[in-house]
Amino acid sequence: MTLKALFAATASAALLLALPANAAEFTIGFSQIGSESGWRAAETSVSKQEASKRKVNLKIADAQQKQENQIKAIRSFIAQNVDAIFLAPVVSTGWDSVLKEAKEAKIPVVLLDRDIDPSGKELYLTAVTSDSVHEGEVAGDWLAKTVGAKACNIVELQGTVGASVAANRKKGFDTAIAKHANLKVVRSQTGDFTRAKGKEVMESFIKAEGGGKSICAVYAHNDDMMVGAIQAMKEAGLKPGKEILTVSIDAVPDIFKAMVAGEANATVELTPNMAGPAFDAVAAFKEKGTVPPKWIQTESRLLTATDNPQKEYDSKKGLGY
């Protein structure tokens, strides 16, 4: 099995990168979760782009959402004696023994997008992740600034109940608007991160709030729910983006389409570029011995209708979202 994985990884890396292996500065193995979402696909394509920019020989192993596949991939990377291992962990626990093996082989491990359970802090070099509380804050701050001193009733489309991202994005937003007495979340319900539920929940918000006239802004924990909510508002004869402000998180291509049409106002980017900062950290560590901080926070860029949404759409649409 290890041999097979090794062969597959080498073959795919050779296919993906037209570069001969000896021209690369580093060889890095990346154990990717699999294709669970559009964002994940975009992360994989951006990682490849960033690797070829830096002449890194990146070997990607697709784990198909299974931890045992990730562990196998890491062992095969250790056997190949790669310069570093990137890991996007599918679950947070159960990594101790395989990461110890990597540590003994003196191969630094960088976590991408997700952290693992605290017990392993000394087992990896650094973790490159986004701060989802901060994402909510950026969204809340934008809304507070845009609304000014006016009273504003906000409706909130939450992510899946129990998902930590949903809880964090809610917490960050609530913290940001708590400083402004004129902003109030009047309704909050889960839209399960999907377009269909986002639309259905928004329909009910519109009815519950007197046809939507008293709603001043919609905050959605992801763009997909907002795309659904925008449809619901249009069907109810409301004008999203003009009468009702919208702010959501993720920055998927379709929200920029809505911005171009003047139907969405702002989104906070969850960057698919986790590998870029990770490559830089590994290079600095290998060449100068600089030990990076345990946590590298990615930038949560605010993108609004004035930030050339057409350009953003064009640059993102080919990434696999």
Partner 1 sequence: MTGLLPRRGLAQILALIVILAVDRVVSPQFFDLRLQDGRLFGSLVDVLNRGTPVALLSLGMVLVIATRGIDLSVGAVMAISGAIAASLADTHSLAVVLAAALGAGLICGLWNGFLVAVLGMQPIVATLILMVAGRGVAQLITEGRIVTFSSPDLVWLGNGSILGLPVPVAIALGMLILTGAVVRGSALGLLIEATGGNARASELAGVGTRAMILAVYVWCGVCAALAGVIAAADIMGADANNAGLWLELDAILAVVIGGTSLFGGRFSLVLAVLGALIIQTMNTGILLSGYPPEFNLLVKAVVVLAVLLLQSPKLSGFAGVVTRLRGTKA
> Which span sits near partner 1 by CB under 8 A: 75-83, 89-97, 189-197, 276-284?
189-197
| Site stretch for partner 1 (CB under 8 A), options 52-60, 81-89, 129-137, 233-241 | 233-241
Answer yes or no whether residue 189 interacts with partner 1 by CB under 8 A. yes
**Candidates 123-131, 214-222, 227-235, 299-307; binding stretch for partner 1 (CB under 8 A):** 227-235
Nearest residue (CB) to partner 1, 123 versus 226: 226
Residue 208 found at the interface with partner 1 (CB under 8 A): yes
From residue 31 to residue 60, the character string flagging contacts with partner 1 as x (rule: CB under 8 A) and all else as - is ----x-xx--x-------------------
Of 48, 72, 134, 199, the residue at the interface with partner 1 (CB under 8 A) is 199
In the complex, least distance from residue 149 CB atom to partner 1, rounded to whole angstroms: 27
Q: Which residue's CB is nearer to partner 1, number 16 or number 208? A: 208
CB 6 to partner 1: min, Å: 26
CA 138 – CA 270 distance, rounded (Å): 12
Measured from the CB atom, the residue of 94 and 320 that comes closer to partner 1 is 320
For 143: left if phi > 0, alpha if psi spans -120 to 50, otherwise beta; the answer is: alpha
Residues that bind partner 1 (CB under 8 A): 35, 37-38, 41, 158, 161, 187-190, 192, 194-196, 199-201, 203-205, 207-208, 210, 224, 227-228, 231, 235-237, 254, 320-321
